[in-house]
Amino acid sequence: MVNVSLPKCRCPKNLEIKAMATTSRLWQKACPQQAIETSQSDDERSSATKNYGLTSWKMAMVIFNQNRDLKLICFHFKEAFKHFTYARENGASCKPEDWLSSLEASCSQCWEDFHNCAYEMKMEQRLRVINEMLPFLSTNMQVCAFLDLANTNFHIGINALQNGDFKKCMYQMSECHYPIEKVKELRQFLGSRGGMDALEEDVVMHMRRVVENCGSG
């Protein structure tokens, strides 16, 4: 049996906003906290936490389509990823392959939806929320997340360079190195191909440009 500490089912305090009555009813009706608390086995617990994840994911998308409250959307995506992780941990030893495959498919689609929402944000905010999600993502999704972090840092750096802010450009380019190395590490662990040579070369090239500009000044 996998022991995990499950959070209480809750909605953010600011959920009561205009046009959210339907969303609120959806949460109250589908919230599976009672099922989690009364579950007697890993099989029951994994089903309950998967349902929690699915409900949180649906909540995030309902809010996105209704009013695009990004803070609230991110809250529910985090809840979704948390509980998909709990479901995976509890279900690994007791659920059949088709159930586990369905869970992974839901996780992947949930990530795609979160990815699309994240790209509605300002780039600095995007970095923050992706970092917040990382602990709750599967290895495959972490690859995608670190790719997003590297690319977002790179584009912030490019914008800074175009605006003549060489210090910020150097900082953002240096911030690309860790996610790039994590992508390479995780891909090697997964046995998948695909290097980061092009992005690494671009980062080095732009850092060199900054040094040259500073030297000429």
Percent of the chain with pLDDT over 90: 47
Check residue 30 and give its pLDDT: 52
Using CA atoms, how far apart are residues 179 and 70, in angstroms rounded to an integer?
A: 24
- Residues 12, 112, single domain; the answer is yes
Same domain, 150 and 104: no
Residues 149 and 182 in one domain: yes
User: Are both 116 and 161 inside the same structural domain?
Assistant: no
Backbone angles phi, psi at 147, to 5 degrees: -60, -45
8: pLDDT confidence band, cut at 50, 70 and 90?
very low
Whether 103 and 159 map to the same domain: the answer is: no
The answer to whether residues 92 and 163 belong to one domain is no
Using one digit for the tens of pLDDT, what is the confidence trace for 15-36? Answer: 444 444 455 455 545 555 655 6
The tens digit of pLDDT for each residue in 131-169 reads 999 988 988 899 999 999 999 999 999 999 999 999 999
Is 125's pLDDT higher than 70? yes
Per the structure block, which two tokens stand in for 90?
A: 């509890």
Tell me what percent of the residues of the chain surpass a pLDDT of 70: 77
Domain for residue 2, yes or no?
no
Residues 6+ apart with CB under 8 A from 147: 179, 183
Average confidence (pLDDT) over 50-70? 88
More confident residue, 193 or 81: 81
> Cα 97 to chain center, whole Å?
24
Residues 92 and 182 occupy one common structural domain: no
One-letter amino acid at 85 equals T
Could you tell me if residue 96 is inside a domain? Answer: yes
Does 128 fall in a domain? no
Please check whether residue 126 lies inside any domain of the structure: no
The pLDDT assigned to 44 comes to: 86
pLDDT, tens digit, for every residue of 72-109?
A: 888 899 999 999 999 998 899 999 999 999 999 999 99
* Whole-angstrom distance, CA of residue 148 vs CA of residue 73: 18
pLDDT for res 9: 45
Give residue 170's domain range.
Answer: 138-217
Contacts of 91 (CB under 8 A, 6+ apart): 42, 43, 46, 47, 50, 99, 100, 103
